Amino acid sequence: MKKLATILAAVLLVTLALGSVSLAETSWPEKTLEIVVPYKAGGDTDFHTRKLAEYLEPILGQTIIITNIEGASGSIGMIDVMESAPDGYKMLYFHESMLTNNVVEICEFTHNDLDVCAASVVDDSYVLVVGAQTPYQTLDELVAAAKENPGDIAFAASSGGYSYYCGRLLEETAGIDLNVCDAGGTGARNSAVLSNKMQVTAHVYGGLKPYIDSGEFRVLCALGAERNPLFPDIPTARELGYDMVGGRAYFLSFPKGTDPEIIAKMSAAIEQVCQNEQFIKETQDAYMTTPSYLNTEELQKRLDDNLAFFWAHRDLLVEE
């Protein structure tokens, strides 16, 4: 029996070793890779994709091209990748608006219609801002004004997107009635607040930074669970007495049916990028957030949990 156990143990070790060699020696990638960004160039998703690709290229030894396919709050680009061959050469870089799109029925698909790989950023830098021309200096002042004049204060959001969720979450948490409007993408939302057509919006700090730095936007609070060390003077909503926390993961996915060895190799490469000090610094400087790697299993669980959460709180995304 001892001899048999020894033989079995040896076989197991060899099997595990061969599996590791197989993963390490997979020939992918052997040609140019493509990552689809489901939005216009220039936004936060586009930035994080291009920065990730820049650092992945020397690790993978191949050129990575970025293709922007906008439409339907990111769903058109998502469908384009879903319909592509699962050969490892075309991928999607998206975030958790993929989930809210499903809940509000912009798109019938979710992350489970793709093979998720890994996240490179979990951005908890969301902030609530108002235009500098508004009289609101604090979140309490905004809430008080909304209670006095229900429906008069316009919140610039993107229908079905995370900004819309933030607006509705503010309403529910503070017990107020805002005019949460579909103002379009980030640029359109910013323009609406800058022109005072709308008064308040929410987005990642980096997407609003030029207007914050210029004084055109006033930050009322951050939506992170704790103060962000990159802008430590801004209090969280929780500190101010409003139990609101927001943030979203930016992640890479492959078409369904992609070889698990390819997914594992890309995930390992993304982990390596996220440990690169220069990549960390450039991400922090540009978007006031720190890269956060989630492996395939961690990412799958987060997306499963958040999809269930959004369905359970569908009333914050859809006004019946």
Residue 25: predicted pLDDT: 63
Please choose, from the candidates 96, 119, 149, the residue with its C-alpha nearest in 3D space to the C-alpha of residue 283: 119
What class has domain 30-123+247-316?
alpha beta
List the chain domain ranges. Answer: 30-123+247-316, 126-222
Residue 151: predicted pLDDT: 95
pTM score? 0.86
Cis peptide before 210 (omega within 30 of 0): no
User: How close are the terminal C-alpha atoms of the chain, in Å?
Assistant: 68
Residues in the chain: 320
Q: Per-residue confidence of the chain (320 residues) as pLDDT tens digits?
A: 444 444 444 444 444 444 443 344 689 999 999 999 999 998 899 999 999 999 999 999 999 999 999 998 899 999 999 999 999 999 999 999 999 999 999 999 999 999 999 999 999 999 999 999 999 999 999 999 999 999 999 999 988 788 999 999 999 999 999 999 989 888 899 999 999 999 999 999 999 999 999 999 999 999 999 999 999 999 999 999 999 998 899 999 999 999 999 999 999 999 999 999 999 999 999 999 999 999 999 999 999 999 999 999 998 888 65
Residue 118 CB contacts under 8 Å (≥ 6 apart), including other chains: 251, 252, 266, 267, 270, 271, 293, 294, 295, 296, 299
Architecture of the domain made up of 126-222: 3-Layer(aba) Sandwich (3.40)
Same topology, domains 30-123+247-316 and 126-222? Answer is yes
Count CA atoms closer than 13 A to 23's CA, side-chain side.
14
Six-digit token string for 277 = 């000090």
